[in-house]
Homo-oligomer: A and B are copies of this chain.
Amino acid sequence: MPVRLIERTPDAYAYPLLIKQLLHTPLAVAPDQEITYMGGRRHSYRELRQRIGRLASMLAGLGVEAGDTVAMMDWDSHRYLECFFAVPMMGAILQTVNVRLTPEQILYTLNHARADVVLVNAEFLPILAAIAPRLETVKRFVLIEDAPAAVAPVDLAGEYEALLAAASPDYDFPDFDENAQATTFYTTGTTGLPKGVYFSHRQLVMHTLATAAALGSAPAQGRLHRDDVYMPITPMFHVHAWGLPYVATMLGLKQVYPGRYVPETLLKLVRDEGVTFSHCVPTILHMLLVHPLSKVIDLSRWKLIIGGSAMSQAQARAALARGIDAFTGYGMSETCPILSLAQLPTAALADGPEAQAALRAKTGIPLPLVDMRVVNEVLEEQPHDGQTVGEVVVRSPWLTQGYLHDPAASEALWQGGVLHTGDIGHVDAAGWLQITDRMKDVIKTGGEWTSSLQIEDVVAQHPAVAEVAVIGVPDEKWGERPLARVTLKPEHVGQVSEHEIRNFSARLIESTGVSRYGVLLQVQFVDVLPRTSVGKLNKRAMREEHGPH
């Protein structure tokens, strides 16, 4: 017998989960709350709503219809927040362009996403100049002018503020299917073309609600509430600034958009605007902590989600020492992004900085509705013993359903009904996940997984080692065994042997029990390690030298 579906009236059925619904509560109870932007601009929520209406009217005037794609090339700004709402609320798709990509990559993403209209900050006109003739689908351009612009290399429909001023604030945002695509943007791996991920209205609303529920339910540390002042420090072009602008808007918070991420500016905004809640990558946190102003400004009310890459325990301690409530958020572009937050149990807040930092650097507690598991190669869940590793797979209502127009990559992402994060980790008895490696960097030895990162940590402890990259190389007996490619500090070259580094590392591996098969390590000295265009170690290139696996 099938389940019984609820009887629905046509009216009632039409409450789809749409981004516009996030605005009901703040407009009702916080219409005069302010949002401040780079350059001193301040809008109330009421004004934000009017500008969203004007932006939609303006875009409709340019011919934008439901299903069209509007690409945004700007730094964090009031324009960006307006686009976060207006474009999807029209039924169109917002493409948030990573302006740090090369012009060729930007060209690729605009063509691949079939962008119809581009809103472009004058600062990026040189990029347009390089690619405009090869844009295949873009029909109109709107200029964003913070400073007087050079001559544009394309025909412009006009300037953003002038067009908005001339447009009507009254735009009747329709209801439509909640599975309508709302946003798209491109991830950049270490190799290959950028890959597009995409999210629907329903997915963004679910991510917003679940993130708010998770952030709100923390007893003391790492929580977000309506008195907080929110300032993003991850770009709005990157996974919707982790989705937090939607959360902050839904809750009616005071918001602060800092524009470019200049440490001094950011720290002054924390002081002057009373910022209490932000999120950033470890690199930004590092820049903030080493800035002299961070030593004289009171940062003790600042809560900071750290994500994008792993926050080290040392960095967590450094932030704690400055009074900052820094804690890990885990997720990725493919997951909208937030999956879990390292909100500590209250008892742990009494622990010393060492113990606290260890927890703050873990992935923490899954958001409501997130089904996140560490599994072996046949998708069986691994024990919660804090040591058995496996791949992290996930289900939740806000995962990209694939890569745009890329069935092969989509199929690899989704296997067995779960999204494969490509991360390796283990779960402890308290349910906390610790990521230990990327799947592609793991070494499969004797049927078990060995973390290349853990072995690198060990090898790097030898005083002669400058840099190290560990990869798995084919081995007849073991399947794979670890190979460390090492560059030496100049003063040690010729003074130490590969054999010595190997024995040093193997002893340390055995004594710490880090990695059972790590003792099979081989060591090879090289003059230089290969790197990608953005400066990351290129392990893929190293592996390819050793032939296919």
Contacts and interface: CB of A to CB of B under 8 A. Distances in A.
Interface of A: 1-9, 11-15, 17, 21-22, 24-25, 28-31, 65-68, 91, 93, 176-177, 179-181, 198-200, 203, 205-206, 208-210, 212-213, 215-220, 223-227, 250-251, 346, 365-372, 395-397, 399, 401-402, 404, 410-411, 414, 416-419, 427, 430-432
B217 A368 contact: no
B414 A9 contact: yes
A4 B180 contact: yes
Contacts of A28: 365-366, 372, 427, 431
Given A1-B66, A6-B198, 8 more contacts: A5-B177, A5-B180, A17-B369, A25-B367, A205-B369, A212-B368, A217-B224, A227-B346
B217 A8 contact: no
B11 A370 contact: no
Assembly of this chain: how many copies?
Answer: 2
Given A1-B66, A3-B67, A3-B176, A226 B216 contact: no
Majority SS at the chain A contact face: loop
A411 B12 CA distance: 11
A546 B516 CA distance: 90
Contact of A3 (B21, B177, B205): B177
Contacts of A399: 12, 15
A320 to B, nearest CB: 21
A365 B27 CA distance: 11
Contact of A217 (B181, B225, B404, B417): B225
Given A25-B366, A29-B432, A417-B14, A5 B213 contact: no
Contact of A209 (B209, B370, B410): B209
A32 to B, nearest CB: 9
Contacts of A5: 177, 179-181, 200
Contacts of A397: 15, 17
Contact of A251 (B93, B208, B217, B414): B217
A69 to B, nearest CB: 8
B29 A430 contact: yes
Contacts of A208: 368
